[in-house]
Chains A and B, each alone.
Chain A
């Protein structure tokens, strides 16, 4: 077991009698980017705050580069965080925002100036030094927050919904840039999101959380094609996975794009309604085994009788009782 990077064992957080996080085991290597994905209230922000030292841990251990930081104060962990709101100090200029942390850590002035100049250049923020946060665009604010985090020279970089305050177009543009930048910086990165597209675009691995319990960790491809359980299967993929009754005690899952329309020999189906989505149509089909969703290019009208089929190897089989995927 390597010691570099982040390792947490059995990490828990309890408030009153509510268990917000239950025995989380997670490791992130230097240079690796992990997304914590889940619906709101699943414990992903709790995890981030525990790692940052902003909330006290109820159980378990956190080790950073081999050092136990479970109970270290936030300011001594060398952990940086980009907050959802960016949390830029509104009364300070961009320069003063970047300088405050260095100043209280008694970094000598010449070194401060040099490091700030480097990070400003890296994030293309030159010329904005004198502006207040309110005078910046959303994308610029995000870059200033990132610059402040990078100046911390962190052993772990945390990002809380870093894209949620940006419009869709800017998100698509910034995602690859951010990913490249974080890879170059070389520290372990954890970023929290409820947006699977963002998770897949930014992260090497994704950890899916639900009700404070880790469901699965893996590459985006693993999670999509080999989900550990029904929750993960349903949470990833849009339009969502089709679920049909299989043999006794088994539920089948098939992704909409893996269903196809056939001339004969398939499952008879009637087209209920359709939604035009540009390049494809989303079709709702009524079959004897339940309602199915499928993506097709053909032009069809409601009421038509069709037949659907899929390859048996694309079937995902889940236990109806536990929701776990069966081999």
Chain B
């Protein structure tokens, strides 16, 4: 029983601000400024959701943009990280340790520092307002952690499995595809989700690379909605946008919590 109380407190601490957003999204602007218990009896509405979904561009457009960027970044990251992790695991311990340490430092690096030079690159290459081009910096930023996580997963596989496959004549691609990757599926899933979460939430690069209204990713769109003035934000509509933008993540976290936790955990253990 003594555990129930702090647990409840932790859950309230985590969820109350979110629940408040949900509540706010269902209220009329007038009801939001009313005081007292009587205010709870009236002013419930779905108008905020209607407004957000019928905006220009409609809200689902941002969700779609973020999904697209997330999928492309995740795909590109895995494509590069899986062979790199395998290659890293096969290096001499000294070299492997050195590269791993550099990757760890990069994974910890506050990447916001990099946006200006990346913006210059994007301008020089004409990548501004190209959603898919975002996948390149996102993959570059995600790779250090992804390679470290997958390297640790490769290291956990018994070496004899790959030896057995080599003796049977499987080439590198066949060994990866037929033997190693099926066994790494959980680690690949964890890594994929962490990369997807990162690119879904990324802000400074998307903010500086994308300016066209219909190309914005979710975090930038949300910030732009509120960007005009601190005092004149349409909070009800905004809360509705928060809820809509948060729902996919809620689903993702509930479905994949095991993978997310094991991904973070592996990162901590092997890092």
Which residue of A83, A90, A91, A104 is within 8 Å of B170 (Cβ)? A104
Q: Which of B167, B171, B179 contacts A89 (CB 8 A)?
A: B179
Task: List B120-178 residues whose CB lies under 8 Å from chain A.
Answer: 158, 160-161, 163-171, 174, 178
A91 touches B167 (CB 8 A): no
Which residue in chain B gives the minimum CB-CB distance to A16?
B92
> How many of chain B's residues touch chain A, expressed as a range?
10 to 19
| Number of A-B residue pairs at CB separation under 8 A | 63
A90 to B183, CA, bound (A): 8
Q: How far is B161's CA from A104's CA once the two chains are assembled, in angstroms?
A: 16
Q: Please name all residues of chain A whose beta carbon is closer than 8 Å to the beta carbon of B2 when the two chains form the complex.
A: none
CB pair B160–A87 under 8 Å, yes or no, is yes
Taking CB atoms and an 8 Å cut-off, the chain A residues in 86-143 that contact chain B are: 87, 89-91, 100-101, 104-105
Min distance, Cβ B156 to any Cβ of chain A, angstroms: 13
Question: What 1/0 flags go to A139-183 for Cβ under 8 Å of B?
Answer: 000000000100010000000000000000000000000000000
A54 interface residue (CB < 8 Å to B): yes
Interface residues on A, range: 20 to 34
CA distance A161 to B169 in the complex (A): 23
Judge whether B169 and A76 touch: CB under 8 Å.
yes
Given the complex of chains A and B, what is the CA–CA distance between A74 and B160 in angstroms? 13
- List the A side residues contacting B171 at CB < 8 Å: 75, 104
Q: Which residues of B contact A295 (CB under 8 A)?
A: none
Q: Establish whether residues B168 and A101, one from each chain, have CB atoms under 8 Å apart when the complex forms.
A: yes
Q: Type the 1/0 row for B181-217, where 1 means its CB is closer than 8 Å to any CB of A.
A: 0110000000000000000000000000000000000
Say whether A79 faces chain B, with CB atoms less than 8 Å apart: yes
Within 8 Å by CB of A80, from B158, B167, B178, lies B167
A52 beta carbon closer than 8 Å to chain B = yes
- Residues on B with C-beta less than 8 A from A74 are 163, 166-167
User: Please, which residues of chain A bring their CB within 8 A of the CB of B169?
Assistant: 75-76, 101, 104-105
The answer to whether A81 and B167 touch across the interface, beta carbons within 8 angstroms, is yes
A319 close to chain B: CB less than 8 A: no
Task: Please determine whether B163 and A54 come into contact, CB atoms closer than 8 angstroms.
Answer: yes
Contacts of A75 in B (CB 8 A): 166-171
**CA–CA, A99 to B220, complex, Å?**
52
Residue ID in chain A nearest B183 by CB atoms = A91
User: B167 to A104, Cβ gap below 8 A?
Assistant: no
| Residue in B163, B169, B178, B183 with the greatest tally of chain A CB atoms within 10 Å | B169
Given contacts A75-B167, A89-B161, 4 further A-B contacts (CB under 8 A): A52-B167, A79-B167, A91-B182, A101-B170
Residues of A that sit less than 8 Å from B by CB: 49, 52-54, 73-76, 79-81, 83-85, 87, 89-91, 100-101, 104-105, 148, 152
Q: Can you list the 4 inter-chain pairs with the closest CB atoms, starting with the nearest?
A: A101-B168, A75-B169, A87-B164, A87-B160
- Could you list 15 A-B pairs, sorted by A, with CB under 8 Å? A52-B163, A54-B166, A74-B163, A75-B167, A75-B170, A76-B169, A85-B158, A85-B160, A87-B163, A89-B164, A90-B183, A101-B169, A101-B170, A104-B171, A105-B169
